Amino acid sequence: MRLKKIVRMNVRVYESSGIHIDGIPVPIRAFGPAGDESPLSPESITPVSGIIEDVYDINGWGREVIPTITCPDPTPMHIQMIEYEVEGN
């Protein structure tokens, strides 16, 4: 059991918004057309598909380093793939 550290993480999502990695919001939101609504209202947020490239340097070294991916808001989240780059010592 060597110490390891996740240094980079890529996540492929499909029509998702409001994703948090270890409690930190990931900026993947796209906003719909301008109108009378507030740009931060749930109706104006358009789900996004694609790859989230995240330089993951939050947790440091450990034997059980696992990021937590959540969606605390009532928004869609569909993860298709997660790729980790790990450093070991």
pLDDT digits (tens, 9 = 90+) for 10-43: 889 898 888 888 888 887 655 555 555 555 555 5
How far is the C-alpha of 63 from the C-alpha of 88, rounded, in Å? 10
Would the pTM of this model clear 0.85, i.e. be above it? no
Instruction: Output the six-digit token pair for 45.
Output: 């947020």
